[in-house]
Structure 1
Amino acid sequence: MEFFWYVVLIGILATYLVLDGYDFGAGIIHLFFAKTEKDKKAITNAIGPFWDANEVWLIAAGGILFYAFPTLYAASFSGFYLPLMMILWLLIFRAVGLELRGQIHNSMWEAVWDKAFGIASLLLALFFGMALGNVVRGVNLGMVENGVSTQEPHFFFLPLWNPTLSPVASELGIIDWFNWIIYKTNSSLNTQLKEMIYKMNFVLLALVIVSLSVWHIIEKEPFHNFINNPILFIFPLITFVGLFGLFKVKTFKKDGTGFLFSTLFLVGGFTSTTASIFPVVLPSTNKVNPSLTIYNVANGEYALSVGVYWFAIALALVIGYFIIQYKVFNGKMDDVGYGEH
């Protein structure tokens, strides 16, 4: 049952990264690229009906973590308490910025909430990249005195892995969003966005190469799991199919194709990373405490078995909701007028 719940957790996190990924990208583009009110409305219209529902998957992941892997939940949430609180506040500011912007038609009011929405989205992408970097690199499990790590007092922000994964996460959010706005709007920017995606792919490719190089420095045998279990190569394959497709973005006739390939790249990259350390879910960097695996952090067998039934009901409800939502808001979103009063 441990493996089942692990797959569920990874699936939910991957879904969250895809769906909320374009929300992060929306905020980043809103901050740096949206210069006119028309462009800003195109952005908010494209994510307005979806962004809050997308965050359900993050809550679901936390619930699965608490229920199925309570030891991992305790270790990660206590060890990463400060950054998690920062992420929580950033999620709040992003939501508040998006919702309050259109409440008062005043240039100063709108500018303040535009910045809140954009900066929070950028920092969220960076922080989630850092979080993934720490999971891969490992943390100083148990070696804490008075709430401070005895070996790595600032381990969340400083690892060598983070300066590479964080930009990858940010750029992926931007590319994901570019593809989403192409898919959901008839914006005059669409042709320009395709050109920008094509150029950004070269930067993304360079960042991926650097990340893999750093990974090889941090991990002595980074491809050990893939060599022992060749079926796992399906995940890197998905990643490179997505990347290859993104380089063809200017030739796509259907607007949704680019978003499909950015989704493949994001999901493939995330699952490749988790597969590389499986069954470990949080490596230990010291020799005193062992790494956390899905087997030594899982709940009891009976609890895991009973939870399957409740999970099936909840999953059916969530999937049903999302099907209805995406049917109602199918097609282009230019005339939604989200947040306008």
Structure 2
Amino acid sequence: MVDLWFVLVCAMFAAYVVLDGYDLGAGIVSPFVAKTDAEQRVVLHTILPFWDGNEVFLVAGAATLYLAFPRLFPAFVSGFYLPVMIVLWLLMGRGLGIEMRHKLDHPLWNQLWDAIFFVSSTLVVLFYGAALGNVVRGVSVDENGDFFAPLWTNFGVGDDAGVLDWYTLLVGATAVVMLARHGALRLRAHTTEDEETERIVGARSARLAERLVAPSALLAVLATVATFAVQPNVARSLGGHPYGVVFGIVAFGGIAFSAIAARRARFARAFQASSAALVGLFACACLGIHPYGVIARIPSRSVLLQDAAAAPYSLGVGLAWWVPGMAAVVAYSIYAHRRLGRGARSAG
């Protein structure tokens, strides 16, 4: 039951990475694919029906983590208090960047909120990647089982490492580049050739996605090698789960297939392959963490999932409510994407 809940937590966050990832990616690439106000509206209208709905999976992931592993949720929120607060402010800034630009029709006003949209989207992804890097690398847990991570110390990976060091920044940079490409593919897949502004945005998005193939693959490889170097538990965990190799194949195969599909102008397939690559990489990270909920830089202080889980009765009752609730969320998300995800609109 504990392992099942661990899979469900990882599945919720993986869904968030894929779905809100293309919203965030669109924000990262927006200055490079949209040069005019009309082109920026194309970018925004591509994500407007979904961006806040996609964040439901972030809330669902956090709620699932709290339900199944009540000891982990407060540990992460308190231990990463400063970066959590920064991410919350950045998420608010991103939302304001989307909504406020329509409140006043003035070039300077629009440029201000477009810049906030770009900066907040980029930094949110960077911090998300750094957060994942911290979970995989391990944190500095004291003898009482508590930890508080400063934003940075000396940027080295040691027993007193902060949130940002060379490894977590590498993971963050990998996340930024891969989600930028993910967002560019989404933009190209959901713009049409019928309207000139959409055609221009789509063409720029396709070119940018092609340019980001090599950096995405290179950073993914570097981050993978660095992960094995800084956290020996990853190799042990993946060795104990041989099927983890499948996720690795899905990750790097997804990057390759996405590039091939994009070159053949099959951008919907390219976007799907990019989604598979993101899920594969995230699944490898989750397997690398298992069986721990908190990996400590001093291994004896790590917290096992079994020790952090709720009582078996609570897990059973929670599952009975979780399944129908999340089935409804997933069903509505599929319906909304099929119903509303049919091209962008350049006006409005």
Could you tell me the TM-score, scaled by structure 2's length? Answer: 0.90
> Is contact 1:31–1:119 with CA below 8 Å preserved after alignment?
no
Question: Sequence identity of aligned pairs in percent?
Answer: 28
The whole-number CA distance in structure 1 between the counterparts of 2:228 and 2:161 is 22
Matched, 1:277 2:283: no
- Partner residue, 1:177: 183
- 3-state SS of the aligned residue for 1:331? coil
Q: Which amino acid aligns with 1:116?
A: I
- Contact 1:197/1:246 (<8 A) preserved: no
Q: In angstroms, what is the RMSD of aligned CA positions?
A: 2.2
Residues 84-127 of structure 1: per-residue CA shift (max 9 Å, x gap) = 01111111110011011111101121111111111110000100
Deviation string 1:50-76 (CA, Å, 9 cap, x unpaired) is 000000000111111111111111111
What does the per-residue CA deviation read over 1:195-224, in whole Å, with 9 as the maximum and x for residues that have no partner?
332221111122122212322321236422
The structure-2 alpha-carbon separation of the partners of 1:24 and 1:192, relative to structure 1 and needing over 3 Å to count, comes to: same
Shift of 1:227: 2.8
Deviation at 1:253, TM superposition (A): 4.3
The correspondence for 1:155, drawn from 139, 162, 187, is 162
User: Secondary structure of the equivalent of 2:266?
Assistant: coil
Moved more, 149-158 or 202-211: 149-158
Bigger mean CA deviation after superposition, 120-129 or 274-283: 274-283
* Cα distance in structure 2, aligned partners of 1:7 and 1:43: 34
Quick one: distance in 2 between partners of 1:312 and 1:79?
30
2:110: which partner in 1?
A: 110
- Alpha carbons 2:237, 2:291 under 8 Å: kept: no
Structure 1: gaps (5+ residues): none
1:63 matched residue in structure 2: 63
* Partner SS state of residue 281, structure 1: strand
Alignment pair present for 1:224 and 2:224: no
SS of 2:115's equivalent in the other structure is helix
| Number of positions where the alignment pairs a residue of Structure 1 with one of Structure 2 | 335
Query: Could you report, residue by residue, the CA deviation over 1:304-334 in whole angstroms, capped at 9, with x for unpaired residues?
Result: 0001111122112212321331232142122
TM-score (norm 1): 0.91
Paired position in structure 2 for 1:207: 219
Post-superposition shift, 1:290? 2.3
Change (3 A) 1:207 1:254: closer
Structure 2 residue runs of 5 or longer lacking an equivalent are 193-197
- Could you list the structure 1 runs, at least 4 aligned residues long, displaced by more than 6 angstroms after superposition: 144-154
1:316 to 322, 327, 330: 327
Corresponding position of 1:293: 304
TM-superposed deviation, 1:171: 0.7
CA shift digits 1:160-209 (9 cap, x unpaired):
31121111100111111111011111232333433332221111122122
The one-letter code of the counterpart of 2:102 is: G
Code of the residue aligned with 1:202 in structure 2: it is A
Q: Give the counterpart letter for 2:286 in structure 1.
A: T
Q: Is the 8 A contact 2:30 2:118 kept in 1?
A: yes
Aligned to 2:51: 51
Matched residue, 2:195: none
Q: Is the 8 A contact 1:198 1:249 kept in 2?
A: no
Aligned to 1:90: 90
- CA contact 1:252–1:258 (8 Å) conserved in 2: no
Q: Which residue of 1 aligns with 2:280?
A: 268
Distance 2:134 2:276 in 1: 23
Alignment CA distance shift 1:196-1:109 (3 Å): closer
**Pairs within 5 Å for 1:243-258:** 243-258=255-270
Q: Which moved more, 1:104-113 or 1:242-251?
A: 242-251
Distance in 1 of aligned mates of 2:283 and 2:293: 12
Determine helix, strand or coil for the equivalent of 1:295. Answer: helix
Counterpart position of 1:332: 343
Residues 283, 324 of structure 1: alpha-carbon distance in 2 compared, 3 angstrom cutoff: same
